[in-house]
Amino acid sequence: MSKKINLVIWNEFRHERNEDTCRAIYPDGIHGLIKQFLSENEDLDITLAALDDPCQGITDELLEKTDVLIWWGHMSHHEVSDELVEKIRQRVYAGMGLIVLHSGHHSKVFKAVVGTNGNLSWGRDQKEIIWNLNPSHPIAEGIPEHFTLELEELYSEPFYIPTPDALVFGGWYEDGFMFRSGVCFNRGLGKVFYFQPGHEYCRSYYNPFVQRIIKNAIYWAKPANIGYTVPEGAPCLTFKVTDEFNK
Amino acid sequence: MSKKINLVIWNEFRHERNEDTCRAIYPDGIHGLIKQFLSENEDLDITLAALDDPCQGITDELLEKTDVLIWWGHMSHHEVSDELVEKIRQRVYAGMGLIVLHSGHHSKVFKAVVGTNGNLSWGRDQKEIIWNLNPSHPIAEGIPEHFTLELEELYSEPFYIPTPDALVFGGWYEDGFMFRSGVCFNRGLGKVFYFQPGHEYCRSYYNPFVQRIIKNAIYWAKPANIGYTVPEGAPCLTFKVTDEFNK
Amino acid sequence: MSKKINLVIWNEFRHERNEDTCRAIYPDGIHGLIKQFLSENEDLDITLAALDDPCQGITDELLEKTDVLIWWGHMSHHEVSDELVEKIRQRVYAGMGLIVLHSGHHSKVFKAVVGTNGNLSWGRDQKEIIWNLNPSHPIAEGIPEHFTLELEELYSEPFYIPTPDALVFGGWYEDGFMFRSGVCFNRGLGKVFYFQPGHEYCRSYYNPFVQRIIKNAIYWAKPANIGYTVPEGAPCLTFKVTDEFNK
Amino acid sequence: MSKKINLVIWNEFRHERNEDTCRAIYPDGIHGLIKQFLSENEDLDITLAALDDPCQGITDELLEKTDVLIWWGHMSHHEVSDELVEKIRQRVYAGMGLIVLHSGHHSKVFKAVVGTNGNLSWGRDQKEIIWNLNPSHPIAEGIPEHFTLELEELYSEPFYIPTPDALVFGGWYEDGFMFRSGVCFNRGLGKVFYFQPGHEYCRSYYNPFVQRIIKNAIYWAKPANIGYTVPEGAPCLTFKVTDEFNK
């Protein structure tokens, strides 16, 4: 239990390097800010990773020990290698947690892990109100009935995801749209959380409730303590369980 | 398959008798209007029922043959007899469909059948936009991505229902609130649909999409063709299934 | 976080007092044995309660502070007062955890809280194998792929419960029957776990995996930390969330 | 409504051509037998397809008009082209039904569409009892509480699939194993049903209940009537829904 949680925060990290507006908001990158607001959580061992790092930021060695992976990507989804996507996918099914943020709905990782085309509609930045639809869910711990974001990118329903295993947050938008903003998926032994806020031109990751939700999601998504050694592939069984009686 | 669906539309039917405003909108009662817009569906055999009818509108004989029950109640939930509620509850578990409208979220029937306190928050009548969150669900057949209601009573999240088995519609409200406006629950062999529009001072039941949703829900909720005779209670099994091999 | 969990173990406690066979297995009652195997968990504050205690074991004061309630009943379900059942039901919807054991599937409490008739089929005591269908669920922590119970009462599908929010364990029976043996339900703010083993003539509560599952369920079912004060009933909202922008 | 359902039955179709035992059971292939028992359903327009057909049996033109695709594969999953898998996946998300049989749990199609590694354990052919866990589900229409298969390949839990959207059937095995044998998944606008019976050395597809289940699944999985034109990708919205009021 005292073992630290190995958290990798992956960011495409190009907007913040190439665009003044984004850099002004997130000078150390979105991943850098997330690391910063998690710094008080001493049981987290945090690694930052970016698309332009060697191995696109995630070596086999790093992935193997990752407990929870946060993913923010946008314009360069197509550059992420299919091999890396497949490795991440298998790690989730084997128990690794995955938190996909904002425009990651169209990332190869989200689409492959969850089984979706990730489609939605989007529009101009505007006022959003996040509603707490599942107040007793672990990811909603400490979150009020609602909170407001002065400016976020519009993401609208219909969102063509599978039925979520839990719907935690909903988003109300000024122009009359709504969105399932925080949704959970069980995939194999792994847990996946998608959370909508986080446009690169907006300041949502400075919002204390957004920060709390991401923190909560990390602890919720961390690998479970499985009571046996999970086999690889599809093993052939050569025993009868019924033989165990009257041993 | 050619058997008609026995539909009972139950209405508290007091607002429309006692208040000019409501009577002006629904001169034959809300149940009367629902019957009217269903009149083209020749495979429906419709019975109207009201709280002030003998037996509160639902005799044992009627209940026994009912396939789908629609329920609209508001101020007089407490007057509905516990015996009737319990009979309806058992009929749902045995396969009868139940469609609960608007203020029925606090009816004894909804709370007992589904297992909930039915709590939510409410407020002034305002503009509502209904969003289609599950376009391939049978209840969403023919419904666009969204449609608007000029005036509906505000019902707001958190809505303290169990996790729905399907979330079909969401409601966006002018004042910044949202609601899970169309939700399905499996209860025993029966199907339950709760649908939020339908304030007695508003004209939502004249909206063609609201009408289509209620029609769709009736066909969705009708009893299934169970492949065996469902036993009463908890029968004692005196055979071994394993004896069936090599007969 | 250092606050103890107030656990109440309620037992009908008549079989063990009236029948030699049961008393020989559970001399302090089933609730007594459960308390015993939980004794190492120092963060639990355990109260035993029985049907023949004053107030049927559960005073208003006790119920108000209970975090998790375990319920074992069988022959005397009908004696439990409707008032007590209603109080427990409302407490679950307000966040209290509920763990219903074995023949409690037909208890008033289970049927009212969950919304079910609780029906199933049953038969002779026989060998059962419990399968782990959800190895990463918190209630399955530390549980192997399967474990065997030398003798348990047969409970068979179809089990006429609502679709569970999580299916954790399955039961295989010697005579060819199967059962969803461990199932979770979200009800309002509360969590409910039903677990099938525990016939009064069998020794299942001595099984270390059964014990571990009950322990796991207690921690899983304990009340969440809601981030706001949950209102009673259905409050009228007299504000606009949209006014919160640009304050 | 009078439009026929375009059903494609895809079969790897090598066992039955290369192995006497399999050919003796399914002389026209597994797909051939499935077509045969569906022949009375005049509203089905059936196309047979096999791995060794041109374009691996599924041209773009055929796929485009397919309403429901049945998939049986085993030893040659790896030969199915990634391009075809991706096309099928996108068609499911756009509304096409998919029914995956038996060893198809490890097909590229199932794994990609659903989001799973498809892992399970397996073993010797033995007696299986299929239990009806969801008697009011459309796929269980006309199916008894249970039925027996004299000989089926053992597939055992844990089955590392996502939480199914519906669990319809369970499998009890002679040697003490169990399996979630019939499970539904919602994926985008499409419906997916996985059904476990159908080993190439066994006669399960001659069983009338197995046949009925496959028939039921076809009608359940057929594309929904979506009430609007579903956009491709993620369209940018340039309007305000709020402008629709008071038009």
> A117 contacts in D (CB within 8 Å)?
90, 93, 188
**What pLDDT does A3 receive?**
87
Give A110-147 pLDDT, tens digit per residue.
999 999 999 999 999 999 999 999 999 999 999 999 99
Residue C172 pLDDT: 98
What are the angstrom distances between the C-alpha of C151 and each of A48, C19, C126, C154?
53, 18, 5, 9
Of residues D95, D227, D241, nearest to B141 (C-beta): D227
Write out pLDDT tens, residues A89-107.
999 999 999 999 999 999 9
Residues of C in contact with D172 (CB under 8 A): 172-173, 176-178
Is B242 in contact with D145 (Cβ distance < 8 A)? no
C87 at B interface, C-beta within 8 A: no
Min distance C15 CA to chain A CA atoms (Å) = 27
How far is residue C158's CA from residue B28's CA, in Å, rounded to a whole number? Answer: 44
Task: Determine contact: C39 vs chain A, CB below 8 A.
Answer: no
Q: How confident is the model at residue A2 (pLDDT cuts 50, 70, 90)?
A: low
Read off the tokens for C57.
Answer: 């074991």
Nearest CA in chain B to D228: B144
Segments of chain B scoring below 50 in pLDDT: 1
The reported pLDDT for the residue numbered C130 is 98
Q: Are C168 and C183 in contact (CB under 8 A)?
A: yes
The reply to whether residue B136 touches residue D223, judged by beta carbons under 8 angstroms, is: yes
**B185 touches C at CB < 8 Å:** yes
B133 contacts A176? CB cut-off 8 A: no
Q: Does C144 touch chain A (CB under 8 A)?
A: yes
State the amino acid at position D122 in one-letter form: W
- Closest to B67 measured CA to CA, from B82, B45, B48: B45
Longest alpha-carbon distance in chain C: 73
Answer yes or no: do C142 and A224 touch at CB < 8 A. no
Residue C117, chain B, CB below 8 Å: the answer is yes
Read off the amino acid at residue A185: F
Residue of D nearest to B245 (CA): D150
- The two tokens of residue A40 are 């008080």
| Chains in contact with chain C (at least 3 beta-carbon pairs closer than 8 A) | A, B, D
Q: Which of A234, A238, A243 sits opposite D120 (nearest CB)?
A: A234
Looking at the complex, report in whole angstroms how far the Cα of residue C189 sits from the nearest Cα belonging to chain A.
Answer: 5
Q: Cα dist. A26→A11, A19, A199 in Å? A: 12, 11, 11
| DSSP three-state, residue C67 | coil
The whole model's pTM is what? 0.98
Each residue's pLDDT tens digit, D200-237:
999 999 999 999 999 999 999 999 999 999 999 999 99
Q: Would an 8 Å CB–CB cutoff place C218 in contact with chain A?
A: no
What are the pLDDT digits (tens) for A157-213?
A: 999 999 999 999 999 999 999 999 999 999 999 999 999 999 999 999 999 999 999
Q: Taking CA atoms, what residue in A is nearest to C209?
A: A227
Residue from C237, C243, C246 whose CB has the most chain B CBs within 10 Å, to mutate: C237
A119 touches chain D (CB under 8 A): yes
Nearest to D227 among B127, B135, B174 (CB): B135
Decide if pLDDT at D1 tops 60.
Answer: no
- CA dist C161 and C183 (Å) reads 10
- Locate C82 and state its tokens: 């409707």
Cβ contact A158–B172 (<8 Å): no
Determine contact: D227 vs chain A, CB below 8 A: no
Position A247 scores a pLDDT of 67
Say if the Cβ atoms of B185 and C162 lie within 8 Å: yes
Residue D247 confidence (pLDDT): 67
HEC profile for chain B? Answer: CCCCEEEEEEECCCHHHHCHHHHHHCCCHHHHHHHHHCCCCCCEEEEEEECCCHHHHCCHHHHHHCCEEEEECCCCHHHCCHHHHHHHHHHHHCCCEEEEEHHHHHCHHHHHHHCCCCCCEEEEEEEEEEEECCCCCHHHCCCCCEEEEEEEEEEECCCCCCCCCEEEEEEEECCCCEEEEEEEEEECCEEEEEECCCCCCCCHHHCHHHHHHHHHHHHHHCCCCCCCCCCCCCCECCCCHHHHCCC
Q: How many contacts (CB atoms, under 8 Å) link B and D?
A: 86
Per-residue pLDDT of chain C (247 residues; tens, 9 = 90+): 468 999 999 999 999 999 999 999 999 999 999 999 999 999 999 999 999 999 999 999 999 999 999 999 999 999 999 999 999 999 999 999 999 999 999 999 999 999 999 999 999 999 999 999 999 999 999 999 999 999 999 999 999 999 999 999 999 999 999 999 999 999 999 999 999 999 999 999 999 999 999 999 999 999 999 999 999 999 999 999 999 987 6
User: Does any CB of chain D come closer than 8 Å to the CB of residue A41?
Assistant: no
pLDDT at D122 over 70: yes
Sheet holding C97-101, edge to edge: C44-50, C5-11, C68-72, C97-101, C190-195, C178-187, C166-173, C121-132, C146-156
**Beta carbons within 10 angstroms of residue C62's beta carbon:** 15
Q: A116 and chain B: CB distance < 8 Å anywhere?
A: no
Which residues of chain A are within 8 Å of residue C146 when distances are taken between CB atoms?
Answer: 241
List of chain A residues whose C-beta atoms are within 8 Å of the C-beta of residue B157: 131-133, 145-146, 170
Whole-number mean pLDDT of chain A? Answer: 97
The one-letter amino acid code at D66 reads T
* pLDDT tens per residue, range D35-62: 999 999 999 999 999 999 999 999 999 9
Neighbours of chain D (3+ CB pairs under 8 A): A, B, C
Q: Is C132 part of the contact surface with chain D (CB cutoff 8 Å)? A: yes
Task: Please tell me which residue of chain A has the smallest CA distance to D177.
Answer: A241
Nearest to D144 among B191, B227, B246 (CB): B227
